[in-house]
Amino acid sequence: MTPRLLPPVATAVLLATVMCACTTTPPAATPAQTATPPAGAPTTLTVPERYVSAESPQDELDSLTTWTSEEGRTLLIASAKSTHRLVVFDADTGKRLREVGGEGQAAGEFNRPNGVAVYGDYLFVVERDNHRVQVFTLPDFKPLGTFGDRELRSPYGLWLTETEPGELEVYVTDSFMYGKKFDEVPPLAELDQRVRRYRVQFDQNGRLRSSYGGSFGDTTQAAGLRMVESIAGDPDNDRLLVADEDRRHESTLREYSFSGKYTGRSLPQDSFAAEAEGVALWTCANGGGYWIAVDQLAPLTVFHLFDRATLAPRGSFEGEVTAHTDGVALHAASTAAFPDGALFAVHDDKSVTAFDLSEVVRVLGLSADCTR
């Protein structure tokens, strides 16, 4: 098939907001963090969830992305690490629709799937223990090909952007660790391999071609990426934000340029009381917008908002249920149930929740440019 490509505006919305997050310590999940908010942190307001899906604890849900059909139906796709598959939900209702895949190494099978991202009618899935990125066509979930298996050692998250029609730059975080418990951070000199870059192309027949473009990561004691998780980018501002989850040092999101240079900036000091997890860019009119970053807390996850351009804090909110969140996906396009878009989040590894973006704007007093 020749997959449908999104129009430029819709593509920008999806590519700028896809994210992934994962639990770094294998094979067990990281326990929920309970922590006191940092001194001087903004007041955390409440935005009730629009829905909470039925629980499936056996899946160990991790990362999220969305896809919209030509007819306008939006699917919410989640990676399920422990059952080695994808779980597909109706994004408007949270109803579980189907599962895709199972454990294995063949095409269409998975071994600890983590990060997920959508470009047009293509789905990208990172597999930690198959050390690769697998690509599918949508909506049939037909395997198209893989890349990265020669370089990737313990991949987790990915983010992608279109550099020209049919050609993508794909960034994959690689959180390989040492020691018997896989909890020892590599020597500083090896931290320049924390983010790997790939050039991916699709020909007129939809065939996949890829090439490795090298790796990057700061290697200093102060700012080295120790346990990499989520990654997201903003092409208009030449900015990549990379989450470092290691609380033994400082868990935050660090800023890199698209060339792989660390800028020396990170999200404001002491923004996170627990682990910095999922991150998504909410692009608004006139070049404005917000970064949304997960603070992986219990009993309730806190979602911090930062100014798109300056990275200054712009408010924080929590739901009434959502806790211990790994992945989020921001879908800024209109759907039947969410005319102004939605933020989807993983709840406690076992279900998905949805927040109406118009309610986030209202409660936090954000710019009306961010809703239609």
pLDDT of residue 50 exceeding 80, the answer is yes
Q: Which of 56-65, 236-245, 266-275 has the lowest mean pLDDT?
A: 266-275
Backbone angles phi, psi at 139, to 5 degrees: -95, 5
Local confidence band at 14 (pLDDT 50, 70, 90 cut-offs): very low
Q: What integer pLDDT is reported at residue 250 of this predicted model? A: 85
Model confidence at 43, pLDDT cuts 50, 70, 90, reads confident
Contact criterion met (CB below 8 Å) for 103 and 80: no
- Residue length of the chain: 372
State pTM to two decimals.
Answer: 0.90
Name which of 184, 254, 196 is nearest 225 in CA terms: 254
172-212 pLDDT tens trace = 999 999 999 998 999 999 999 999 999 999 988 888 999 99
Give the 3-state secondary structure of 310-372.
Answer: CCCEEEEEECCCCCCCCCEEEECCCCCCCCCCEEEEEECCCEEEEEEHHHHHHHHCCCHHHCC
CA angle, corner 156, sides to 161 and 30, nearest 5?
A: 135
Mean residue pLDDT across the chain: 90
- pLDDT attached to residue 40: 53
- Predicted confidence at residue 372, as pLDDT, reads 61
pLDDT confidence tier of residue 42, bands split at 50, 70 and 90 = low
CA atoms within a 13 Å half-sphere pointing along the CA-CB vector of 7: 4
Nearest Cα residue to 103 out of 119, 83, 73: 83
Q: How confident is the model at residue 66 (pLDDT cuts 50, 70, 90)?
A: very high
DSSP string, 117-180: EEETTEEEEEETTTTEEEEEETTTTEEEEEE-TTT-SSEEEEEEEEEETTEEEEEEEE---BTT
92-100: long-range contacts (C-beta < 8 A, 24 or more apart)? Answer: 92/335, 92/336, 92/337, 92/338, 93/51, 93/337, 94/51, 94/52, 94/53, 94/54, 94/351, 94/352, 94/353, 94/354, 95/53, 96/53, 96/54, 96/56, 100/141
Q: In this predicted model, what pLDDT tens digit does every residue of 197-208 receive, in sequence order? A: 999 999 888 889
The domains of the chain, with CATH numbers, are: 8-370 (2.120.10.30)
The 10s digit of each residue's pLDDT in 239-262 is 999 999 998 888 999 999 999 999
Is it the case that residue 35 has pLDDT exceeding 90? no
